[in-house]
Amino acid sequence: PAVGRISLDNDFVYFGEEFLVMRIPKTGGAPQTVVSTNGRVSALHVDPGIGWVFWGEKEGGVRGMRAAFGSPVLTFQPPASGREVNSVGWDGTRVLWADCLQPGNTNCRIRQRQLGITRSLVVGTVGIRHLQWDPASLYWGDASYLRRYLR
């Protein structure tokens, strides 16, 4: 299987491989399976500050867990028919992700889950990818330009 979606913490390189989230020590060694997923991994983010790994799935699911073996998996968005998650992350207070209707990468949206509530921040653009943020703004690229959402 092909390696995709790479993220780092202080000690490990994490990567998605089809239905697995895996990690390998930065110093070398054998890869370890962190979790076997319900969907094919299409987005990955590790937050070393809180010790969590988050992933999105080609089948629309968004999940996360502590980056420790045997930790329970939390679901932030269940699988959503026809949607693919292409970016996921944690900004210090909430889980953020972008997903798009497939095929065609249309009707994209940026969503957040905070305090048990999911809401859409942006809806309807084409090709949203590469979410990044700072304390004041959320940034992403889409099919036509670089965009910004003020928080």
Whole-number CA gyration radius for the chain: 15
Which distant-in-sequence residues (6+ apart) come within 8 Å of 28 by Cβ? none
Residue 16: pLDDT band with limits 50, 70, 90 = very high
Q: What is the mean pLDDT of residues 96-122?
A: 94
pLDDT of residue 1: 63
**Nearest Cα residue to 131 out of 60, 64, 45, 49:** 45
DSSP one-letter code for 72: P
Six-digit token pair at 112? 């957040």
DSSP string, 24-59: EETT----EEEEE-SS-EEEEEEETTTTEEEEEETT
pLDDT of residue 70: 83
> Is pLDDT above 70 for 93?
yes
* Side-chain half-sphere CA neighbours of 132 within 13 A: 7
Q: What is the pLDDT of residues 31-45, one digit of tens each?
A: 999 999 989 999 999
Separation between Cα atoms, residue 141 and residue 130, nearest integer Å: 6
pLDDT of residue 3: 82
Q: Record the pTM.
A: 0.93
Q: What is the pLDDT of residues 124-136, one digit of tens each?
A: 889 998 999 988 8
**Nearest Cα residue to 89 out of 148, 60, 132, 25:** 132
